Amino acid sequence: MPSRPRRLSVQTKVLLPVITFLVLLPVVVVWIVNGYISRQVHDEAATVLKTADGVFRHLLDNQSNDLLSRYRTTLENRGVVRNGYLDLVGLAATNTAVGANSVRSSLDQQLGGDTVVMLLSLDPATPPIGAKGEVPLELADFARASGGLSRAALRGEGGADWVTLDGMVLNVAALPIAQPDHQVAGALTVGARLGGATMQEFKRLTGAEIVILAGAATAASTLGAPGVALGGLPTDAAQEVVVNGEHYLALRGAYAQEASMGGFRYVLLSSHERSLRTLGDMRRTLAEVSFAGILLSAAVVWFFIRRVIHPLRELRDTAEAVGRGDFSRKIGRLANDECGDLAEAFNGMTTNLQASRAELEKTVETLKATQTQLIQSEKLSAVGQFVAGVAHELNNPLTAVIGFSDLLVQTSTDDKIRLHLERIAKNAHRCHKIVQNLLGFARQHPPERSLVAINGAIDEVLDIMAYDFRTGNVAIVREFQDDLPLILADRHQLQQVFVNILSNARQAIQAVRHDGRIVIRTQLSAALVRIDLIDNGPGVRPEHLSRLFDPFFTTKPIGKGTGLGLSLCYGIVQEHGGTIRAQSELGQGATFVIELPVAPESAQLRDTDAALAPGGRRGGAGRRVLVVDDEEEILALTRELLRADGYEVETASSGEHGVAAVRRTRFDVIVSDWKMPGMNGIQFYEHLLATDRAAASRVCFMTGDVINDSLQEFLRLQGRTCLPKPFSIKDFQDTVADLSERGSG
């Protein structure tokens, strides 16, 4: 015996995926949340830096403009100061020790701790003279760094800019010193170092830390010594950096005014240390909660699995015993849950096995009954086919009865005989209509929309059900509006709706009274055709009224109804774009209201045009007609009708005789029956197509059979006409006349 493959227990199969899922879920959640919050923190810090960068640049522009404006106002509006500067320029131009010392002494009085002041003469040979506060730089270096602005001032053009010098960033302004006659006498150049107080003010206004760079070194900073090289950061891109152990998002930029002497570089930093700490705390909290949840969930799952596994093992042992034939083996009540229900079901199964033979015998009887029903269904199907065949056999003699009676009515002069003949024709037409309606309703039809006159469709249903209403003492009252417009619908589906509702009404009336009455009213309501079906039956209970159209709902006794009839009616009406509803009061009968949309006006017009199209012209003198039919009465009737119109008529009782007649004579019209023994109508037509296409083009058909889908398709493809039997004299004469005119044209 082969060894049993190693298997995993149910407990392991359940615990492994559960624990795996519980582990993966928090990991994925933490990863997603961490990425989302990190991106959010980075985006917020980048936005802050972009805003701070704009504010910082604006502050630098304002600082330069303020310095330039302050000294320009001093020179323009305070004449004493200006004259004093002119005197100092004159002393500087003497280039004597006394003059230089006097200039420095005067300039020292105007200096702040971070300010450099320098005077220049128009004489290029005269060196600049100036003074500086606590700024650690050489005046000559300052003169070189500010040379561009100073030369512009000597030309009468004032200006300001930022320069980097000896590891410092200076805001430099240069202004011309004009004499009373507006001639430039010299230039005043002022430099203000960007110091700690200004940096702190910038930090307050921008909301960001600021580091000013002089080359790779730090010229000024709100952080003190950054402790990390920031000069290598990419420009215009926010980047994570760690400064003095704190996490920042840094943005490096370069500042330079128009016609700049160099400007300087800077780094703006926005701290998100607090956000990162919060994110770290959240990750730890999620991890701790997840770990605790995993342990608790695993314990709970293990506990419940143990409770399920134990009864399953007992069930397995008992099932093996029952399999060996021990039907006395039972499972005790395990618990008040599904396992207990399973135990009871298993015990019931072992009990029922002993009665299996009786159940099998009962099943055999049921199968026999089912077989009988199937045989009956086959019989009904055969009856349907038989009825279709009978219709063909009935239509041929009905054609003769109707045709000859109509012909006699036209020729008889005795009123009494005419009355009898009209009664014969009327009842023959009634037989034909009943057969056609019965076949039309019984056959299966694919859904097909066409223009339908609702009054005519209801009349056809009433003709089919007339016997049931008459024998059930149910009177039908027609209240039809005559000028109703047509609707676009499937005629057979609508008739199925009317049959279902009328059948229900008849059955309900017969159960309570012997003087039944059903009123059928049609009328036009706005753009809808409304049909009211009103009966005087027992009515419908209020609690049942809202459920009448629900599938499988029925108020009939078991075995008397399926509950699908009204549900199908509701679906058919809905598919036609209409509505159906029921109104009833208990003991006062019921009313079913159906509303269907009127066909579009264009379709109505097409139908009217077709109805008003003129028929074929009468008169057939000099024209030959061949009629092929296996019924002698039909041949006699058509011969009589056509000769009355002046046609030369030849008849043939089979397709073979018809072929022989066509070989002998040319006919203007050939009328052939569809169903004949031997060579039938289609074989006759196909023979003409192969041997004489001109003769085939003058063929029309007639048939007493139902015009089915295959015949319709054949007629459409070949462009042929088919007269259904029984036909009226006028229809037959018009059809032959039309075909004769086309053949002669």
Q: Is residue 492 part of a domain?
A: yes
State how far the alpha carbon of 593 is from the alpha carbons of 14, 38, 183, 477, 656, in Å. Answer: 60, 67, 109, 16, 57
Reading the block at residue 427, the tokens are 């009842």
Whether the pLDDT of residue 480 is over 90: the answer is yes
> Which among 60, 408, 526 is positioned nearest to 256, based on CA atoms?
60
pLDDT of residue 373: 47
CA-based radius of gyration for the chain: 56
CATH classification at residue 684: 3.40.50.2300
Q: Is residue 261 part of a domain?
A: no
Q: Is residue 606 part of a domain?
A: no
Of 72-76, 410-414, 670-674, give the range with the top mean pLDDT. Answer: 670-674
| Predicted confidence band of residue 165 (pLDDT cuts 50, 70, 90) | confident
Query: Rounded to whole angstroms, how far apart are CA atoms 531 and 533?
Result: 7
Q: Is residue 690 part of a domain?
A: yes
pLDDT of residue 641: 84
Whether the pLDDT of residue 103 is over 60: the answer is no
The residue that leads in pLDDT, 692 or 394, is 692
pLDDT of residue 99: 44
Q: Is residue 432 part of a domain?
A: no
Report the pLDDT averaged over residues 161-168.
Answer: 82
CB 18 within 8 A of CB 298: yes
pLDDT of residue 530: 96
The per-residue pLDDT for range 573-620, each reduced to its tens digit, is 998 899 999 998 888 899 999 999 998 875 555 555 444 444 444 566
Among 163, 193, 223, give the residue marking a domain's end: 193
Q: Bridge-partner residues for 584, per DSSP?
A: 590
Among 600, 629, 662, give the residue marking a domain's end: 600
In Å, how far from its chain's centre is CA 63? 62
pLDDT of residue 288: 80
Give the whole-number percent of the chain exceeding pLDDT 90.
12
What's the domain count of the chain?
A: 3
Whether the pLDDT of residue 561 is over 70: the answer is no
**Stretch among 255-259, 321-325, 443-447, 697-701 having the lowest mean pLDDT:** 443-447
Measured over the CA atoms of residue 628, residue 632, residue 637 and residue 643, the dihedral's sign is: positive
Residues 146 and 185 occupy one common structural domain: yes
Residues 460 and 590 occupy one common structural domain: yes
Give the whole-number percent of the chain exceeding pLDDT 70.
72
**Stretch among 214-218, 367-371, 504-508, 658-662 having the lowest mean pLDDT:** 367-371
| Dihedrals phi, psi of 723, to nearest 5 degrees | -95, 120
pLDDT of residue 611: 45
CATH classification at residue 124: 3.30.450.20
The per-residue pLDDT for range 30-46, each reduced to its tens digit, is 778 777 777 777 777 78
Rounded-to-10 torsion of CA 301, 307, 311, 312:
10
The residue that leads in pLDDT, 174 or 276, is 174
Range of the domain at 712: 615-744
The per-residue pLDDT for range 170-208, each reduced to its tens digit, is 888 888 887 777 778 788 888 888 877 888 888 888 888
Residue given tokens 């108020």 in the structure block:
555
> Which among 425, 434, 426 is positioned nearest to 387, based on CA atoms?
434
CB atoms within 10 A of CB 23: 13
| Predicted confidence band of residue 481 (pLDDT cuts 50, 70, 90) | very high
pLDDT of residue 87: 59
Residues 450 and 594 occupy one common structural domain: yes
Residues 480 and 594 occupy one common structural domain: yes
In Å, how far from its chain's centre is CA 270? 47
**Stretch among 2-6, 27-31, 594-598 having the lowest mean pLDDT:** 2-6
| DSSP reduced 3-state for 734 | helix
| Predicted confidence band of residue 98 (pLDDT cuts 50, 70, 90) | very low
Residues 499 and 554 occupy one common structural domain: yes
Residue given tokens 């900073």 in the structure block:
221
Whether the pLDDT of residue 335 is over 70: the answer is no
CB 179 within 8 A of CB 23: no
Query: Rounded to whole angstroms, how far apart are CA atoms 639 and 650?
Result: 8
pLDDT of residue 404: 78
The per-residue pLDDT for range 225-242, each reduced to its tens digit, is 665 666 666 666 778 888
Residues 558 and 659 occupy one common structural domain: no
Residues 676 and 540 occupy one common structural domain: no
- Residues 6+ away with beta carbon under 8 Å from 399: 633, 634, 637, 704, 725, 726, 727
Reading the block at residue 104, the tokens are 């420095």
Residues 645 and 736 occupy one common structural domain: yes
Q: Is residue 273 part of a domain?
A: no
Query: Rounded to whole angstroms, how far apart are CA atoms 702 and 209?
Result: 104
| Predicted confidence band of residue 81 (pLDDT cuts 50, 70, 90) | very low
Residue given tokens 């004499």 in the structure block:
179
**Stretch among 336-350, 371-385, 403-417, 490-504 having the lowest mean pLDDT:** 371-385
Query: Rounded to whole angstroms, how far apart are CA atoms 521 and 504?
Result: 17
The residue that leads in pLDDT, 137 or 646, is 646
pLDDT of residue 201: 85
Residues 550 and 695 occupy one common structural domain: no
Average pLDDT, the chain: 76
The residue that leads in pLDDT, 239 or 487, is 487
Q: Is residue 287 part of a domain?
A: no
CB 538 within 8 A of CB 586: yes
pLDDT of residue 221: 83
In Å, how far from its chain's centre is CA 632? 65
Among 168, 193, 218, give the residue marking a domain's end: 193
Residue given tokens 């209409």 in the structure block:
578
CB 681 within 8 A of CB 695: no
Whether the pLDDT of residue 390 is over 60: the answer is yes
Using a cut of 0.75, tell me whether the model's pTM lies above it.
no
Query: Rounded to whole angstroms, how far apart are CA atoms 705 and 722?
Result: 11
Q: Is residue 147 part of a domain?
A: yes
| Predicted confidence band of residue 385 (pLDDT cuts 50, 70, 90) | low
Residues 728 and 657 occupy one common structural domain: yes
| Dihedrals phi, psi of 585, to nearest 5 degrees | -125, 135
The residue that leads in pLDDT, 453 or 311, is 453
Residues 691 and 595 occupy one common structural domain: no
Residues 501 and 643 occupy one common structural domain: no
Reading the block at residue 62, the tokens are 């304002």
